[in-house]
């Protein structure tokens, strides 16, 4: 190029190369971005918009009602019951499943006879469909001849309707969730334990460190990235529960097991109040967003030691 220096030519070539690499990178990301926008971001935005409109009837367009759907949720005692139930459900199942998964991973990470079979036994509930799991546990909870009544009867206890009693129905479903999810979380902890350098354990043994001190000072801090990942999945699972609620209790007795997603399903598809269902969905998304901000904004600093 006349009048141009070699430095300008090299700079223009670098800029052109960077531009091509940027375009190439965006083209590689485009399929995933299209799916992400189409099936995640746009449905969330559309739900937010729908929550500001009344339920459409026939061919008439739905009228704009503003925050009326949210006012209806505030005045609905069943919604608050579902919110309380879900808070209790999450508070109980998340730590129980995570701690049990860690204990199982530590157990099967040892050199035990039949270790492969034990790992498979721990992971087996995860492979079962939730509908099948719900039906299995319904048999366990059946009055008179179910497993739990048999155990209670062996110790002199009487008949009990575990899923028909408001005091035991929700804890009974919590037990099913912990049994189902702990094996799934165990796999991630086990993979993380197997990637830890053996030199750390040998050095701790030479220093005379106890098992508990080694676990508290070395093992658990190194497991924090895995724990963050497991917690994110556990929170999502705790607020998207619907299948075994439908099979086992359908929200009863007296809404004792009505969780937030089941409330949304009932409102939207049984009572055909799509406006209120959209508003409740926005509330659910806000709760999950708040948990995500807490996990990645606060816990991630401890995970990556920033």
* Cβ-Cβ contacts under 8 Å for 18 (sequence gap 6 or more): none
Is the pLDDT reported for residue 305 higher than 70? no
The pLDDT of residue 31 is above 80: yes
CATH code of the domain occupying 77-304? 1.10.3720.10
pLDDT tier for residue 10 given thresholds of 50, 70 and 90: low
Residue 217 has pLDDT above 70, yes or no: yes
pLDDT at 6: 60
List the domain boundaries for the chain.
77-304
60 bridge partner residues: 57
112 and 282 Cβ atoms separated by less than 8 Å: no
Tens digit of pLDDT for each residue in 90-146? 999 999 999 999 999 999 988 778 788 888 888 888 888 888 888 889 999 998 888
How confident is the model at residue 1, as a pLDDT?
A: 47
pLDDT, one tens digit per residue, over 141-193 is 998 888 888 888 888 888 889 999 999 999 999 999 999 999 999 999 999 99
Summarize the confidence of residues 226-234 as an average pLDDT.
Answer: 92
Average pLDDT, the chain: 88
User: Which spans in 128-210 are helix H?
Assistant: 130-141, 147-154, 169-194, 198-206
HSE (CB half, 13 Å, CA atoms) of 176?
31
Whether 293 has a pLDDT exceeding 90, the answer reads: no
pLDDT at 184: 93
Where on the phi/psi map is residue 64: left (φ > 0), alpha (ψ -120 to 50), or beta? beta
- Per-residue pLDDT band at 209 (split at 50, 70, 90): confident
Confidence of residue 4 (pLDDT cuts 50, 70, 90): low
Checking if the pLDDT of 62 tops 90, the result is no
E-assigned strand segments in 120-191: none
The CB density around residue 256, as the number of other CB atoms within 10 Å, is 19
Element containing residue 228 per DSSP (H, E) = helix 224-239
> Position of tokens 């556990």?
234
Calculate Rg over the CA atoms of the chain: 26
pLDDT score of 13 more than 80:
no
pLDDT of residue 5: 59
Percentage above 90 pLDDT, the chain: 53
Please report which helix (H) or strand (E) contains residue 291, including its range. Answer: helix 274-294
Please say if the pLDDT value at position 56 is more than 90. Answer: no
């Amino acid at each position: 190029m006349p009048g141009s220096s070699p430095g300008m030519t090299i700079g223009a070539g670098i800029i052109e190369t960077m531009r091509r690499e940027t375009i190439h990178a965006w083209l590689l990301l485009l399929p995933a971005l299209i799916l992400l926008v189409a099936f995640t971001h746009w449905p969330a935005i559309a739900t937010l918009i729908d929550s500001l409109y009344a339920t459409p009837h026939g061919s008439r367009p739905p009228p704009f009602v503003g925050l009326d759907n949210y006012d209806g949720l505030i005045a609905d005692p069943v919604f608050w019951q579902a919110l309380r139930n879900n808070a209790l459900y999450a508070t109980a199942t998340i730590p129980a499943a995570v701690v049990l998964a860690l204990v199982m991973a530590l157990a099967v990470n040892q050199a035990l006879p039949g270790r492969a079979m034990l790992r498979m036994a721990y992971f087996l509930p995860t492979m079962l469909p939730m509908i099948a799991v719900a039906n299995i546990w319904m048999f366990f909870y059946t009055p008179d001849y179910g497993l739990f009544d048999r155990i209670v009867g062996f110790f002199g206890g009487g008949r009990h309707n575990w899923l028909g009693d408001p005091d035991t129905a929700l804890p009974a479903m919590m037990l099913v969730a912990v049994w189902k999810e702990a094996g799934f979380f165990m796999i991630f902890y086990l993979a993380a334990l197997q990637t830890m350098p053996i030199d750390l354990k040998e050095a701790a043994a030479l220093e005379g460190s106890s098992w508990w001190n080694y676990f508290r000072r070395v093992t658990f801090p190194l497991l924090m990235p895995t724990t963050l990942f497991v917690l994110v999945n556990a929170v999502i699972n705790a607020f998207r529960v619907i299948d075994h609620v439908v099979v086992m209790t359908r929200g009863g007795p007296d809404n004792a097991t009505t969780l937030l997603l089941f409330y949304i399903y009932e409102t939207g598809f049984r009572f055909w109040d799509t406006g209120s269902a959209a508003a409740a969905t926005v509330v659910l998304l806000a709760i999950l967003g708040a948990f995500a901000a807490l996990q990645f904004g606060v816990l991630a600093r401890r995970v990556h030691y920033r």
